[in-house]
Amino acid sequence: MNYGNLIFIALRALNNNKLRSFLTMLGIIIGVASVISMLAIGEGSKLAIEEQIKELGSNMIVVTPTNALVGGIRQNGVLVQTLKYDDYQSIVAEVPHVDKCSPYVQKSGQAIYGPNNSPTTIYGINEEYMDIRRLRVARGEMFTDQDMKSSAKVCVVGQTIVDNLFKNGEDPLGQIIRFDNIPFRIVGVLAAKGYNAMGRDQDDIIVAPFTTIQKRLLAIDYLQGIYVSAVDEKHTEKIIWEITGVLRQTHKISSVQEDDFNVRSLEEMSAVLTMATALLTVLLATIGGISLLVGGIGIMNIMYVSVTERTREIGLRMSIGAKGRHILFQFLIEAIMISVTGGIIGVCLGIGAAVAIRTTLEWPVYVQLYSVVISFLVCSATGIFFGWYPAKKAAKLNPIDAIRYE
């Protein structure tokens, strides 16, 4: 069997129907490009989340109120006033291996300076929150314990707030801004961190003493959360268990009652987010796979048409000595060449699309080698699978009936 001659005949047949061959390839091209780009987006999101968690520190623990049952009615977790300042003090005093601990409250609103304003969120914290979240004051200074004791109206702002409020280049240090009609004096500016992996501007932030936010903005005496960092990651699980025990005791929760708080580590949150991202990746890959399947069906369809159109040619070739296997391999080679060529173009297009998405939209995108290899192998297998049946049909044609075919 002269395979070189069969390849030449297949190439000539494809060349005689350039437009049809390209349109057949298009399904494979779109399918392969979709799979690669979709997997790149999913994998990039997963890696970005892991990097963000790593940056924050997997030893961080967050305590929040939860929607416990009260009188048989499940309460809204946001409205439950179960976390108090005494809980924060109990954690600091009774839980060993705690490195840093900070109360936490927040309020969204408009920061105003002169004619300029910026929608943002102000966070009420203590100075240890800065170490927990790895924030740093670049200019000025952090507010002090005395500021927290006196509920001083001072704050430290992020670079985005500076850019939005001080557009004429004024020095923000010492300036008075207003938040919900409450004046705050800026004592420091945070070091710029840019956008995180989820697209959130980490510099769009104002921090102030938690007592100030509690009393002057929210008019509450409870906490919306408590941030804790462990001395070492290996103590995280133990600290979670100890915090749970301390808070159950201070809240007088019996053994048959549900907790009215929630204690979670960043590692647990990371696992949940990673699982969600993995499901998203599978969904995106499935969409691309469907496109690849449609492309394969297109190959089968066009090969059927080709067999029908070239029935007399097949009959003539068989009458001068071509065997059924020759005809089989000829049409199979055509199908494989369509799928492989489409796969190569699709791989290039998929990688190009991933790069374009990362450049233009600034999304986290990561093209993995396995996605390229698998996509190419699948498209090749698609050509063989969907091209086999039409090729087999051509090989089984009766030469006499084929020559007489009109």
Q: What is the C-alpha separation between 268 and 58, in angstroms, rounded?
A: 9
Residue 354 has pLDDT above 50, yes or no: yes
Q: What is the C-alpha separation between 154 and 143, in angstroms, rounded?
A: 7
pLDDT digits (tens, 9 = 90+) for 293-302: 777 787 777 7
pLDDT score of 77: 46
- How confident is residue 212, by pLDDT bands cut at 50, 70 and 90? very high
pLDDT digits (tens, 9 = 90+) for 321-342: 777 777 777 777 777 888 888 8
Q: What is the C-alpha separation between 130 and 394, in angstroms, rounded?
A: 74
pLDDT score of 159: 93
Residue 38: which residues within 8 A CB-CB, separation 6 or more? 281, 284, 285, 287, 288
Poorest-pLDDT segment among 144-148, 155-159, 196-200, 386-390: 196-200
- Tokens 């949150």, residue? 269
pLDDT digits (tens, 9 = 90+) for 170-206: 899 999 999 988 999 999 999 988 776 556 788 899 9
Residue 27 has pLDDT above 50, yes or no: yes
Residue 62: which residues within 8 A CB-CB, separation 6 or more? 225, 226, 227, 228, 263, 264, 265, 266, 269
Beta bridge partners, 118, equal 111
Q: What is the C-alpha separation between 337 and 25, in angstroms, rounded?
A: 9
pLDDT score of 400: 65
Q: Provide the mean pLDDT of the chain.
A: 81
CA 386 to chain CA centroid, Å, is 35
Q: What is the C-alpha separation between 242 and 258, in angstroms, rounded?
A: 16
HEC-encoded secondary structure of the chain: CCHHHHHHHHHHHHHHCHHHHHHHHHHHHHHHHHHHHHHHHHHHHHHHHHHHHHHHCCCEEEEEECCCEECCEECCCCCCCCCCHHHHHHHHHHCCCEEEEEEEEEEEEEEEECCEEEEEEEEEECCHHHHHCCCCEEEECCCCHHHHHCCCCEEEECHHHHHHHCCCCCCCCCCEEEECCEEEEEEEEECCCCECCCCCECCCCEEEEHHHHHHHHHCCCCCCEEEEEECCHHHHHHHHHHHHHHHHHHCCCCCCCCCCEEEEEHHHHHHHHHHHHHHHHHHHHHHHHHHHHHHHHHHHHHHHHHHHHCHHHHHHHHHCCCCHHHHHHHHHHHHHHHHHHHHHHHHHHHHHHHHHHHHHCCCCCCCCHHHHHHHHHHHHHHHHHHHHHHHHHHHCCCHHHHHHCC
Average pLDDT of span 315-325 = 73
- How confident is residue 124, by pLDDT bands cut at 50, 70 and 90? very high
Residue 350 has pLDDT above 50, yes or no: yes
Q: How far separated are the first and last CA of the chain, in Å rounded?
A: 29
Q: What is the C-alpha separation between 192 and 157, in angstroms, rounded?
A: 10
Residue 359 has pLDDT above 90, yes or no: no
CA 324 to chain CA centroid, Å, is 52
Residue 372 has pLDDT above 90, yes or no: no
- How confident is residue 32, by pLDDT bands cut at 50, 70 and 90? confident
pLDDT digits (tens, 9 = 90+) for 4-14: 666 776 677 67
Q: Cβ-count burial of 42 within 10 angstroms (0-12 exposed, 13-18 middle, 19+ buried)?
A: buried
pLDDT score of 392: 74
- How confident is residue 25, by pLDDT bands cut at 50, 70 and 90? confident
Residue 69 has pLDDT above 60, yes or no: no
Helix axes 236-250, 85-94, angle to 10 degrees: 130
pLDDT digits (tens, 9 = 90+) for 35-61: 888 888 878 877 777 666 666 656 788
pLDDT score of 105: 94
Q: What is the C-alpha separation between 53 and 272, in angstroms, rounded?
A: 12
What percent of the chain has a predicted confidence (pLDDT) above 70? 85
pLDDT digits (tens, 9 = 90+) for 215-263: 999 989 899 999 998 887 777 888 889 999 999 998 888 888 888 888 8
- How confident is residue 320, by pLDDT bands cut at 50, 70 and 90? confident
